[in-house]
């Protein structure tokens, strides 16, 4: 993930009086030294709250998302924390006190569908918060975004974009994020992308050297789009294609021989890996 740590709008104008600035940071992405430096920047103050505040799940509490109220002085010291880039998922402008805002957001950590199935949700991820803002049931939108002036997220992993908040007509209270089945499926993302990313991280970690966690699924998704364009439908063919695309880039497909093999894989009974092995010998396409 690239880009500046703060929205450009904050460089051009000060926040209105009474507006507090909060960051949503996922601790699992930060190395221990960066965490120490991050929290040391607050001095003796403790304006931060875990969004999974469950003592029965200390790992999730420690490694999961935290809400931090960030002063101008604190923000200035963060400019040198390069490792913060991937961990920082959102900026929030709000008049709410931090403890109240954290309690409000914590309820969005669990999503439920119409059948009563429930799961943890990293609702603060850019793709998900954008979808929730647009498609969540009205009562859920009001509970999640009520009392927030602007919610800033990174578009395409780079530029900060603001979602308008909503007026808080009443305290959110003990609300539940319950959605229809279509939104449930959308919020859980493309299972093929996430599954294949996990497989490749485990079996071929060199593919992702110097690539941050948040970029890995995007790279896999783009490679799978190439498999779609070439008509590869079998799971094994798509996995082979993605491996070669990530390891060799577009050069992997430049030769006429490779074009023929791709066409044969899309039309015939033999897999792409079998065709590669028959043509070139043992292939390394994990």
Q: What is the reported pLDDT for 16?
A: 87
Domain boundary among 158, 187, 216: 187
Residue 163 shares a structural domain with residue 109:
yes
Structural domain contains residue 1 = no
- Tell me if 231 is assigned to some domain: yes
Confidence (pLDDT) at 31 = 80
Which residue do the tokens 């009520």 mark?
146
Burial of 280 (0-12, 13-18, 19+ CB in 10 A): exposed
Domain of 252 in residue numbering reads as: 191-280
Q: What confidence tier does 2 reach under pLDDT thresholds 50, 70, 90?
A: very low
Cβ-contact 85, 1 below 8 angstroms: yes
Contact between 188 and 127 under an 8 Å Cβ cutoff? The reply is no
Last residue of a domain, one of 126, 152, 187: 187
- Based on the fold, state whether residues 148 and 223 are members of the same structural domain: no
**Same domain for 36 and 103?**
yes
* 268 in the same domain as 158: no
Reported as a single tens digit per residue, the pLDDT across 117-146 is: 999 999 999 989 999 999 999 999 999 999
Residue 107 covered by a domain: yes
Q: Count CA within 13 A, CB hemisphere, residue 180.
A: 6
Residues 158 and 231 in one domain: no
Residues 231-256 have pLDDT tens digits of: 999 999 999 999 999 999 999 999 99
Indicate if 181 and 221 belong to the same structural domain: no
Tell me: do 79 and 198 sit in the same domain: no
Q: What is the mean predicted confidence (pLDDT) over 169-174?
A: 75
Residue 161 shares a structural domain with residue 202: no
Nearest residue to 286 via CA among 203, 228, 205: 203
**Based on the structure, what is the number of domains in the chain?**
2
Is residue 167 located within the same domain as residue 254?
A: no
The count of C-alpha atoms lying within 13 angstroms of the C-alpha of 215, restricted to the half-sphere facing its C-beta, is 13
Q: Residue 88 pLDDT more than 80?
A: yes
| Mean pLDDT on 178-198 | 87
The average pLDDT across 56-84 equals 83
Confidence of residue 11 (pLDDT cuts 50, 70, 90): confident
In this prediction the pTM is: 0.77
Rg, Å, the chain Cα set: 22
> 157 pLDDT band (50/70/90 cuts)?
low
Same domain, 177 and 50: yes
Q: Span 259-266, mean pLDDT?
A: 94
On whether both 26 and 164 belong to a single domain, the answer is yes
Indicate the residue among 137, 164, 187 that finishes a domain: 187
pLDDT tier at 1 (50, 70, 90 boundaries)?
Answer: very low
In a domain, 2, yes or no: no
Q: Is residue 285 part of a domain?
A: no
Same domain, residue pair 17 and 153: yes
Name which residue leads in pLDDT, 145 or 30. Answer: 145
């Amino acid at each position: 993930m690239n880009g500046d740590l703060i929205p450009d709008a904050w460089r051009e104008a000060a926040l209105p009086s009474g507006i507090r600035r909060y960051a949503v940071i996922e601790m699992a992405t930060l190395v221990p030294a960066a965490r120490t430096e991050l929290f040391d920047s607050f001095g003796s103050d403790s304006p931060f709250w875990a969004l999974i505040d469950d003592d029965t799940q200390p790992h999730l509490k420690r490694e999961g998302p935290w809400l931090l109220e960030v002063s101008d002085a604190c923000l200035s010291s963060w400019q040198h924390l390069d490792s913060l880039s991937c961990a920082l998922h959102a900026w929030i402008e709000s008049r709410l006190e931090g403890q109240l805002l954290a309690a409000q957001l914590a309820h969005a950590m669990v999503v439920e569908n119409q059948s009563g199935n429930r799961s943890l949700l990293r609702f603060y991820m850019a793709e998900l918060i954008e979808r929730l803002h647009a498609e969540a049931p009205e009562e859920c939108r009001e509970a999640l975004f009520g009392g927030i002036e602007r919610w800033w997220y990174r578009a395409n992993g780079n530029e900060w974009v603001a979602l308008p908040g909503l007026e808080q007509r009443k305290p959110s209270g003990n609300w539940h994020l319950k959605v229809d089945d279509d939104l449930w499926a959308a919020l859980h993302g493309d299972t093929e992308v996430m599954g294949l990313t996990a497989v490749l991280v485990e079996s071929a970690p060199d593919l992702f050297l110097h690539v941050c966690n948040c970029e890995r699924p995007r790279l896999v998704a783009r490679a799978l789009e190439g498999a779609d364009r070439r008509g590869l439908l079998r799971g094994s063919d798509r996995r082979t294609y993605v491996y070669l695309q990530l390891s060799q880039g577009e050069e992997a497909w430049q030769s006429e021989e490779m074009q023929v093999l791709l066409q044969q894989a899309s039309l015939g009974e033999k897999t792409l890996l079998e065709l590669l092995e028959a043509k070139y010998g043992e292939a390394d396409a994990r």
